[in-house]
Amino acid sequence: MPHPENFAKGLSIGIIMDGNGRWAKKQGLPRTAGHKKGAEVFQDITRYCNELGVESVTFYAFSTENWKRPYEEVGAIMRLFGEYLIKAFDYQKENNRVVFLGERSALEPKHQKLMDEIETKTAHNTGMTLNIAVNYGGRQEIVHAAQQLARQVQEGALAPEDITEALMSQHMYTHGQKDPDFILRPSGEKRLSNFMLWQAAYSELVEMDVLWPDFTRNDLDLAIEEFNRRSRRFGGI
């Protein structure tokens, strides 16, 4: 579908990549096949966001609650994370600045090392910011920020009254970034599932019935069009 040249320029988008398991079940395949296809879609949609001039995009890949899944499924997701999200994507070529959101100390040491390397190598890239949320929870992120600030208060470097919304934002994993303009959830679910709780205060929510492994560039166009039709008031009139 043709769209105006600049219709997504400068947008900040959050994407909850959901529906991999249901997609696999529909095809009569194991759930891991859905995660594999979902990881491929992640790569294509990242490239497309680059082409559209999106400012930042955050992909929710694994939540703090997803550890509840069977051991084999968690293992398969982590393997795919290593293969698709860390190694096999040319972040330099795409000129993306990559930031991993979440508590990475629970991840495999070799993955943690690669994540640190990618972040360092891409820190000065001038293109889109690509956030990948792994072992991420919005509540965990807020707790993490509170702990950092409490430490500063304890050391006498900060007074409790100096804790402002802006300072809290600076202690989120997304510090320095614009809050998401909209959060997209495919698979038909209508909930945030602990995604970007702090940053989502005024994000538009766009929910779509398509399962993530079936998600196409055209679906992203439709989501952006839906967002562009919304009237944002931020509490004003």
Catalytic annotation, pick one of 50, 66, 125, 228: 66
The pair phi, psi for residue 2, each rounded to 5°, is -70, 145
Confirm whether 18 is a catalytic residue. Answer: yes
Contact 130, 99 (CB under 8 A): yes
Helices (H) and strands (E) in the chain, counts: 7, 6
Tokens of 88: 């096999």
Q: Which is nearer to Mg ion, 73 or 179 (CB)?
A: 73
Q: Which is nearer to ligand IPE, 19 or 180 (CB)?
A: 19
With CB under 6 A as the contact rule, the residue among 61, 85, 206, 224 that binds ligand IPE is: 61
- Within a 10 A sphere around the Cβ of 34, how many other Cβ atoms? 22
CB-nearest residue to ligand IPE? 21
Is position 173 an interface residue for ligand IPE (rule: CB under 6 A)?
Answer: no
With CB under 6 A as the contact rule, the residue among 41, 54, 57, 77 that binds ligand IPE is: 77
**Helices (H), ranges, the chain:** 20-26, 31-52, 71-80, 109-122, 138-154, 165-170, 217-229
Confirm whether 66 is a catalytic residue. Answer: yes
Tokens of 209: 């019935």
One-letter identity of residue 5: E
Window of 61-69, 121-129, 144-152, 223-231 that interacts with ligand IPE by CB under 6 A: 61-69
With CB under 6 A as the contact rule, the residue among 44, 51, 189, 209 that binds ligand IPE is: 189
Q: Which residues are catalytic?
A: 18, 66
Which residues contribute to the site for ligand IPE (CB under 6 A)?
16-22, 60-63, 66, 77, 187, 189, 191, 193
